Structure 1
Amino acid sequence: MREVVAAVQDPELPVVTIEQLGILRDVRVDDGGHVTVDITPTYSGCPAMDAIRADIESALAEYGIHSVDVLTVLAPAWTTDWITPDGRAALQDHGIAPPGPAAHGTVTALTLSVRCPHCGSPDTRELSRFGSTACKALWVCRSCQEPFDHMKAL
């Protein structure tokens, strides 16, 4: 069952699956065939969670599974460290600069420059802290002049 759920695309970033993004935490099947799926939002209040829940239920229904609970698990909180290497590559390949490593403990990570996903130049600047979704910021490359989303490190 995990393979079915893992293939569900993120509705805001359809170039990655919920597994690649690190949203999918666990899939359990009990002896009676009831499926329980644990997901963690990228941030508290993420508006995509209802769509993700519906997409998981729909994907399982296609396989004849209708007894499903999709639970939101908030602890531990999602971190960009949970994005898989192939998820990072998919973001990069589709013009979204993947985040760097998340800050942990008392260390504060500063994003001084983000490499342009189009031309690779580090000569970029942030246009807006908020991009097409709340988990992304809008940047522009000074070399190729192309705007791009940068997924915020959490």
Structure 2
Amino acid sequence: MSGWRKVMPILGQGFRIIAVDLPGQGDSDKPLDGYDTQTVARRLHELVEHLGLKRYGLVAHDVGAWVAFPYAMMFDKEIEALAMLDAGISGITLPEMLPSASDRSWKTWHFSFHAVPDLREILLWTCHGLVPDHGLSVKRRCAHNPEGFSIEVRNAASEDYRNH
């Protein structure tokens, strides 16, 4: 959520904001199973029902958009507006295979990286935050506004990773 820390207060001036960490991300619990997008969408809808929301807008970013797509298909009657940002949706916008050439894969290197069991955790505990800093450094070099990835943002992202 650290990437949204400056946007949420502005949106909160005109909207009720409910920010959710998907299972296994941020401060959420890590269930042993159920990481497929439909199961996560159903779990998210249980929260929406618990909060008593009947009609609402849904904004989803990156992996959150992967969940928002099946969510919107299953619960379309409840959604007044849908925004899915910065995400490739499998079967819709992603190619059959992600690029592997370094000049074309700088946006997607982390898919293969995170597929290696326990690698992220091993590197984080032995290299003191190498992964989040590297990822944000790449984004910082390529960002429209590099100052959006200040040391404060990189430290917050590193802390998110260290806590899990």
Q: Which is richer in helix?
A: 2
What is the TM-score when the length of structure 2 is the normalising length? Answer: 0.26
What is the TM-score when the length of structure 1 is the normalising length? Answer: 0.27
Q: Which is richer in strand?
A: 1
